[in-house]
Structure 1
Amino acid sequence: MSILAAATSRPDPAGETDPNQVLAGAEGRRPWMAYLLLLPGVLWLGIFFLFPLAQLAAVSLQSGWPDFPGYYYRDLNVGNYVEALTSYAPHFGRSFLYAGAATLLAFLLAYPLAYAMAFKAGRWRGLMMIGVIAPFFTSFILRTFAWSQILGDESWVVEALNFLHLLPGDRLINTPLAVVAGLTYNFLPFMVLPIYASLERADPRVIEAGGDLYANGLTTFRTVTLPMSMPGVLAGTLLTFIPAAGDFVNMELLGPQKGTMVGNVINNQFLAVPGGYPIAAALSFTLMAAILVMVFLYVRRFGTEELV
């Protein structure tokens, strides 16, 4: 039997190799290669995302020492989350309201721009793309400082609006309108680029078919163009709303002193309030959970097969 097994395992005289054995060996090695390729990314996420997230969860359940501000001990104090939901509910409401308004305004501004870049720009497309991404070459805080000058009481924007009697309070700076304007400007490229990518991949012949079927421009846009661009609209909405809801820079530099967003509360609890780490961590987790729920419901309602 051993001689027969050895004979059957030898390669044929022509030196040819069994292709089934080659494929089996390749398939046996392939999973290890895939795991090795995934290892750097998994380590990066584990060290710089999962571990800090677990540490933040542990801090959110800690309790402060009585009569010793700034000191706390490990505990399972769920009262931090109760305080986050009760004492700071208005801050969550303002954050979601301002972020939603900025997202809607960014969509109304971004879609015509993305449409023009995809179908009408021609040789100007590259220049328009540079105009969209050029703000990224400047610091986020510097751009917001620039908006504080643009919306200042002595700026030409405010003077023009006051001349036309379109500004009820005679000022823009330190108002919710200034916060929404700053959020819209700072996150507008995150709305333009995904929509442009979806429209740029769309087949123009499909859109032209709507006109061939005697549909007017509005009907063609509603039934053909907009559904084809929904993956980009969905991605742009999420990329705009999520960072805008947790932003605190625009409120700090453009908004009123009272009625801040939840991001400002988290920043103050971490940096200015002694012993505020547990409340800040609980607020952070509550904000993250609320955004995840809203994103899940939004994707379930308006998502596409490519994203669900």
Structure 2
Amino acid sequence: MATSEEQDWKRARGPFAAVFTAPALWLLAFFVVPLAIVWAYSFGETTTPTTIEISGTFRHYVRAFDPVYLEIFLKSAWMAALTTALCLVVGFPVALAITFAPERAKAWLLLLIMLPFWTNLLIRTYALMAVLRREGYVNAGIGRIAEALGWQFDPLPLLHNNFAVVLGLVYVNLPFLVLPLYAALDRLDRSLLEASLDLGAGHLRTIREIVVPLAMPGILSGLLITFIPALGSYLTPDLLGGPDSQMIANVIERQFKRANDWPFGAALSFILMYLTFILIAGQTVLAGRRRRREP
């Protein structure tokens, strides 16, 4: 005999299908099918400038492990990891401050964190270029201080190098880490923190031994959400970086536009996607193990 839950599900099956069908078809037509076409291109060969023959070759995947491209992959991963680490160092205190801020101030602080999303990324990047260039605000400010002190000052090379790329990536991706951290910290049981402080643990020890372990799922989610966009970033290294600052997304762009080698560009794109799936699967496995260890 069917339970009440099964009967409710059977009654809701029709409305659920009606609501789900339209977005499912949209995702299928404009997400799954285009991705499948690009995935098929990664096993093809360019026969003419406008024709790709799907031959089933793995040559482009093998070519991706050429030392030239492998070095760019590793450099991109290193810069994305450095960006994620810096975002954690900066974002954890910010998320902690928002968590323990008064309720009225908390809403305004969250608004400030989300405010950059209201401005186009290209505009924000050009604004950062205006700050970092040789005649920009940073060099101009330091130059005025040096002039007042009677020192000679040469403008700092803050733009078109790896420093500018990492700074730009931190600037762009910092909210992606702060928001999951805040969501995790805001759910903490405040009584545990009070008990730790009452038992003699200082604030730093409480953060290290109570706050960080309890907020670890949010920390790992924030790290993943920050690392993946940083690894596939294109605009920031293209505008802020120099010849030695290009990341793998810039190489993929060149394959599709300038080199007209769509199969190789598709292979590079899907290697990035495979890495993303591996990272998400690893985070899921770690989260499952942590839940099983919990009492």
Match of 2:164 in 1: 178
Instruction: Give the 3-state SS of the residue equivalent to 2:291 in structure 1.
Output: coil
Q: Does 1:50 align with 2:32?
A: yes
- Deviations along 1:91-125, whole A, 9 cap, x unmatched? 11111111111111111111111111111344322
Match of 1:83 in 2: 63
User: What residue ranges of structure 2 are gaps of 5+ in the alignment?
Assistant: none
Contact 2:139 2:155 in 1 (8 A): no
Provide closer, same or farther for how the CA distance between residues 117 and 79 of structure 1 changes in structure 2, counting only shifts above 3 A: same
The percentage of aligned residue pairs carrying the same residue is 33
State which of 220, 238, 246 in structure 1 corresponds to 2:232.
246
TM-score (norm 1): 0.82
The aligned runs of 1:11-160 (5 Å cut-off) are 25-26=7-8, 28-65=10-47, 68-86=48-66, 87-158=68-139
State which of 257, 263, 273 in structure 2 corresponds to 1:271.
257
User: What residue ranges of structure 1 are gaps of 5+ in the alignment?
Assistant: 1-18
Contact 2:161 2:244 in 1 (8 A): no
Contact 1:91 1:259 in 2 (8 A): no
Distance 1:195 1:62 in 2: 43
Deviation, structure 1 residue 214: 2.0
Bigger Rg over Cα: 1
Deviation, structure 1 residue 27: 5.2
- When structure 1 is superposed on structure 2, of 279-288 and 46-55 the one drifting more is 46-55
Instruction: Give the 3-state SS of the residue equivalent to 2:34 in structure 1.
Output: helix
Contact 2:46 2:262 in 1 (8 A): no
Match of 1:288 in 2: 273
Aligned CA RMSD, in angstroms, stands at 2.9
TM-score (norm 2): 0.85
Distance 2:273 2:82 in 1: 19
Deviation, structure 1 residue 239: 1.3
Distance 1:180 1:209 in 2: 40
Deviation, structure 1 residue 249: 0.5
Deviation, structure 1 residue 36: 4.2
The aligned runs of 1:226-245 (5 Å cut-off) are 226-245=212-231
Instruction: Give the 3-state SS of the residue equivalent to 2:65 in structure 1.
Output: helix
Match of 1:200 in 2: 186
Provide closer, same or farther for how the CA distance between residues 63 and 22 of structure 1 changes in structure 2, counting only shifts above 3 A: closer
Match of 1:187 in 2: 173
Instruction: Give the 3-state SS of the residue equivalent to 2:281 in structure 1.
Output: helix
Deviation, structure 1 residue 30: 4.2
- Deviations along 1:53-105, whole A, 9 cap, x unmatched? 2111111111122xx44543221121011111214111111111111111111
Distance 1:244 1:278 in 2: 24
Deviation, structure 1 residue 232: 1.9
The aligned runs of 1:251-262 (5 Å cut-off) are 251-262=237-248
- Which amino acid in 2 is paired with 1:112? P
Contact 2:134 2:155 in 1 (8 A): no
- Deviations along 1:176-196, whole A, 9 cap, x unmatched? 011000000111111111111
Q: Does 1:215 align with 2:201?
A: yes
How many matched pairs?
A: 284
Distance 1:191 1:168 in 2: 36
Deviation, structure 1 residue 263: 0.2
Deviation, structure 1 residue 31: 4.3
Contact 2:87 2:174 in 1 (8 A): yes
- When structure 1 is superposed on structure 2, of 45-54 and 87-96 the one drifting more is 45-54
- Which amino acid in 2 is paired with 1:104? A
